[in-house]
């Protein structure tokens, strides 16, 4: 487990809580204090300006009340300017006097061009019409200052409104004071936060030191170290927790020992099982696969553990994981390749939690049933083929016998033909039964051959001579047989039957004027015997199947020639009983060559002599 950083530790969290509380308190205090201070300063500012406005209004009213001759009327503006000059100090930056006709009579600034001009300002018009003071706060983008504008009516002693005094007062002093106050609050907050953080860390260490010790103990428990104990710092709640933690450690150690023992037993059983075992979690993801399962499914452990069981078994398109849990029906899967057949049977069992019945996953047991399925398939095919082979001659015999029973026996021309067909089919059934008996003997466990040392060269030539003397078709025999003596230890009856079946097939499928080649080739530890014909040949996809029981390339022609479909199968069994091999090579239209081998040891031949 990774080490906990400072910013993720409980020390930091305790200190952070104290700091956040201080920040919250200071913010509440600061917002309330600053708001009240700002309102107080603005109120004092407004009172101060209003006092000056009242005094200015009085002074201006006195000037307007003076009786002036027509010649002295122009001096009014100068007198007003003198009065305004006394009020341009402090916060007041500009003062204007405007008559009822909205004409500027005097201004406190040096901008004399403004005097005598009419201005259109809604504040002035409102002050003249409502006789009320209408202050407004604005921000001057040129000077970057906040100012408050006052428009106050000027009244004579008799109450007549004769004009408006327009005042612009700077509020920057207020905001400067507010910035200073905010700075003081910020510095105080930072100092409080620093002190609070230090105190919080100190308190957190006092509280969390036992917790840190228990955390280390938990890490050691996760590693399997049960010898370490938690230090008890006191008898408070944390001390009681540490005491309970030590007791828990002892219980865990005992439980872990029992669990580990059971786990090793289970792992040993699973590892040594000959059948495949795959376990999943409740989502169908593979969490366990033993070596036999990996080999049967041709997948590595790493790859299997990253897959779902439906993908691993290649059934995701047909079956969903939920269906496997519900049905738990065994599946028969075909994992055969071009090189090797492979049939697997998969049985499923649900993993159910002991308490609550919650399904935690699925276990699949995988069996290799290739041989069993092959045997079952061969048995089914064998029964079907035997039934078919027996039914054909029996049906023929029955039809002819029925015809004879109905009176055909009185016809001297038809009766002999019917009897000949019946005799032929009977002989064919006898041959079929004999072949079946031979196969049955070879399949039995007590089947034994009776080997004898013979000169295979002489033995092979005698068999060829017999066929050459009895052949009825014009077929040429060619012998490529060494003149030397080649002694082998074989059962002559069985090898004779092998050669009879092979040569008979070669003669059956050889055309008139064809040639059959007999060859013996001496290899290092065996003799290679071959019989080659120039018949119609065998299709490429059927060459490997001609040694199967009842397999025929051309079924109609084979039955016509009297074959049972078992000759090459018997030959295969007999050659393999002599520790040899048999196979065929063929091209359609160019003939077929049948090869088989027999063990041969020249040294044993010398010892025998």
Residue ranges in 272-308 assigned as alpha helix (H): 291-297, 301-304
**DSSP percent split of the chain into helix, strand, coil, nearest 5:** 55, 20, 30
Q: Is the pLDDT of residue 241 over 90?
A: no
Tell me what pLDDT residue 3 has. Answer: 56
Rounded distance between C-alpha atoms, residue 456 and residue 474, angstroms: 27
Query: How many residues are given for the chain?
Result: 609
Report whether 348 contacts 367 (CB < 8 A). no
Which residue would you say has higher pLDDT here, 78 or 1? 78
Among 50-59, 84-93, 532-541, the range with the most confident prediction by mean pLDDT is: 532-541
Query: Across residues 236-244, what is the average pLDDT?
Result: 77
Rounded distance between C-alpha atoms, residue 289 and residue 271, angstroms: 9
Query: Across residues 29-52, what is the average pLDDT?
Result: 81
Quickly tell me which residue has 């049948």 as its tokens: 594
Q: Is the pLDDT of residue 520 over 90?
A: yes
What lies within 8 Å, CB to CB, of 163 at 6+ separation is 60, 64, 97, 98, 99, 100, 105, 153, 154
The predicted model scores a pTM of: 0.40
DSSP 8-state symbol, 232: P
Task: Give me the residues paired with residue 149 across strands.
Answer: 136, 168
Distances (CA, A) of 340 to 336, 343, 370: 6, 10, 10
Query: Does the 452-608 domain belong in CATH 3.20.20.70?
Result: no
Tell me what pLDDT residue 171 has. Answer: 79
Rounded distance between C-alpha atoms, residue 511 and residue 563, angstroms: 17
Q: Is the pLDDT of residue 519 over 90?
A: yes
Which pair of structure tokens corresponds to residue 30?
């600061």
Closest alpha carbon to 239 in 215, 221, 214: 214
Query: Across residues 535-541, what is the average pLDDT?
Result: 82
Which residue would you say has higher pLDDT here, 606 or 583? 583
Closest alpha carbon to 87 in 68, 106, 105: 106
Report whether 557 contacts 607 (CB < 8 A). no
Q: For CATH 3.30.450.20, list the domain ranges present in the chain.
A: 11-178, 273-364
Q: Is the pLDDT of residue 608 over 50?
A: no
Query: H or E segment at 367?
Result: strand 359-368
Q: Is the pLDDT of residue 63 over 80?
A: no
DSSP 8-state symbol, 308: B
Which residue would you say has higher pLDDT here, 427 or 46? 46
Tell me what pLDDT residue 553 has. Answer: 62
Report whether 219 contacts 1 (CB < 8 A). yes
Query: H or E segment at 502?
Result: helix 492-509
Q: Count the neighbouring beta carbons within 10 Å of the beta carbon of residue 552.
A: 17
Q: For CATH 3.30.565.10, list the domain ranges present in the chain.
A: 452-608
Rounded distance between C-alpha atoms, residue 249 and residue 268, angstroms: 28
Report whether 506 contacts 579 (CB < 8 A). no
Q: Is the pLDDT of residue 597 over 90?
A: yes
Quickly tell me which residue has 């049967």 as its tokens: 296
Q: Which range (361-365, 431-435, 461-465) has the least confidence? A: 431-435
User: Which pLDDT tens digit goes with each residue over 318-335?
Assistant: 888 888 888 878 888 888
Closest alpha carbon to 367 in 337, 336, 333, 316: 333
Classify domain 273-364 by CATH number.
3.30.450.20
SS3 78: helix
Q: Is the pLDDT of residue 479 over 70?
A: yes
Q: Is the pLDDT of residue 307 over 90?
A: no
Q: Is the pLDDT of residue 508 over 60?
A: yes
Which residue would you say has higher pLDDT here, 530 or 161? 530
Q: For CATH 1.10.287.130, list the domain ranges present in the chain.
A: 374-443
Classify domain 11-178 by CATH number.
3.30.450.20
Q: Is residue 559 very low, low, confident or very high in pLDDT (cuts 50, 70, 90)?
A: very low
Query: Across residues 262-284, what is the average pLDDT?
Result: 80
User: Which pLDDT tens digit goes with each residue over 192-225?
Assistant: 778 877 777 777 777 777 777 777 777 777 777 7
Indicate the burial class of 3 (C-beta count within 10 angstroms; 0-12, 13-18, 19 or more).
exposed
Quickly tell me which residue has 């004092």 as its tokens: 44
Rounded distance between C-alpha atoms, residue 269 and residue 266, angstroms: 5
Q: Is the pLDDT of residue 15 over 50?
A: yes
Distances (CA, A) of 449 to 135, 397, 573, 577: 132, 37, 11, 7
Q: Is residue 560 very low, low, confident or very high in pLDDT (cuts 50, 70, 90)?
A: very low
Q: Is the pLDDT of residue 317 over 80?
A: yes
Q: Is the pLDDT of residue 564 over 60?
A: no
Q: Can you say whether the dihedral through the CA atoms of 39, 44, 45, 46 is positive or negative? A: positive
What topology does CATH give the domain 374-443?
A: Helix Hairpins (1.10.287)
């Amino acid at each position: 487990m990774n080490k906990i950083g400072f910013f993720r530790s409980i020390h930091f969290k305790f200190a952070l809580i104290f700091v956040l509380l201080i920040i919250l308190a200071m913010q509440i205090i600061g917002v309330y204090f600053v708001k009240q201070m700002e309102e107080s300063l603005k109120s004092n500012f407004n009172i101060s300006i209003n006092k000056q406005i009242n005094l200015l209004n009085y002074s201006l009213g006195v000037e307007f009340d003076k009786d002036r001759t027509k010649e002295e009327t122009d001096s009014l503006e100068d007198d007003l300017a003198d009065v305004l000059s006394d009020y341009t100090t402090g916060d007041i930056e500009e003062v204007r006097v405007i008559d009822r006709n909205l004409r500027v009579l005097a201004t406190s600034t040096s901008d004399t061009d403004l005097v005598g001009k009419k201005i259109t300002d809604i504040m002035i018009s409102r002050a003249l019409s409502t006789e009320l003071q209408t202050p407004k706060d604005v921000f001057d983008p040129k000077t970057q200052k906040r100012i408050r504008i006052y428009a106050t009516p000027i009244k004579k002693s008799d109450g007549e409104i004769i004009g408006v005094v327009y005042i612009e007062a700077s509020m920057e002093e207020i905001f400067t004071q507010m910035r200073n106050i905010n700075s003081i609050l910020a510095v105080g907050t930072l100092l409080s936060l620093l002190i609070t953080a230090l105190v919080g860390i100190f308190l957190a260490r006092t509280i969390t030191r036992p917790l840190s010790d228990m955390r280390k103990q938990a890490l050691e428990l996760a590693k399997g170290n049960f010898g370490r104990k938690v230090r008890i710092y006191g008898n408070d709640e944390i001390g009681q927790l540490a005491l309970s933690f030590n007791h828990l450690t002892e219980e865990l150690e005992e439980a872990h020992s029992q669990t580990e023992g059971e786990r090793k037993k289970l792992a040993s059983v699973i590892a040594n099982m000959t059948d495949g075992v795959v376990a999943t979690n409740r989502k169908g993801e593979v969490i366990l696969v033993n070596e036999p399962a990996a080999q049967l499914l041709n997948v590595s452990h790493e790859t299997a553990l990253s897959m779902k069981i439906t993908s691993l078994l290649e059934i995701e398109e047909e079956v969903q994981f939920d269906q496997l849990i519900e049905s738990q029906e065994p599946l028969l899967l075909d994992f055969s390749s071009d090189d090797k057949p492979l049939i697997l049977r998969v049985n499923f069992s649900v993993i159910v939690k002991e308490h609550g019945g919650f399904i935690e996953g699925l276990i699949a047991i995988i069996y290799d049933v290739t041989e069993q399925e092959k045997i079952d398939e061969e048995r089914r095919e064998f029964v079907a083929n035997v039934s078919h082979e027996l039914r054909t001659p029996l049906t023929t015999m029955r039809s002819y016998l029925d015809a004879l029973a109905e009176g055909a026996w009185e016809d001297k021309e038809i009766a002999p033909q019917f009897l000949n067909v019946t005799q032929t089919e009977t002989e064919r059934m006898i041959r079929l039964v004999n072949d079946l008996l031979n196969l049955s003997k070879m399949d039995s466990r007590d089947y034994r051959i009776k080997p004898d040392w013979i000169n295979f060269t002489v033995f092979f030539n005698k068999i060829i001579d017999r066929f050459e003397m009895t052949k009825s078709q014009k077929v040429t025999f060619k012998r490529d047989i060494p003149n030397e003596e080649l002694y082998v230890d074989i059962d002559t009856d069985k090898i004779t039957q092998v050669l009879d079946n092979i040569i008979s097939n070669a003669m059956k499928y050889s055309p008139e004027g064809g040639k059959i080649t007999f060859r013996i080739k001496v290899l290092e530890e065996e003799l290679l015997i071959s019989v080659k014909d120039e018949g119609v040949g065998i299709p490429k996809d059927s060459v490997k199947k001609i040694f199967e029981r009842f397999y025929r390339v051309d079924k109609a022609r084979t039955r016509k020639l009297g074959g049972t479909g078992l000759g090459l199968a018997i030959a295969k069994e007999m050659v393999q009983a002599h520790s040899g091999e048999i196979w065929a090579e063929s091209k359609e239209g160019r003939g077929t060559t049948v090869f088989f081998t027999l063990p041969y040891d020249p040294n044993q031949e010398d010892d025998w002599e």
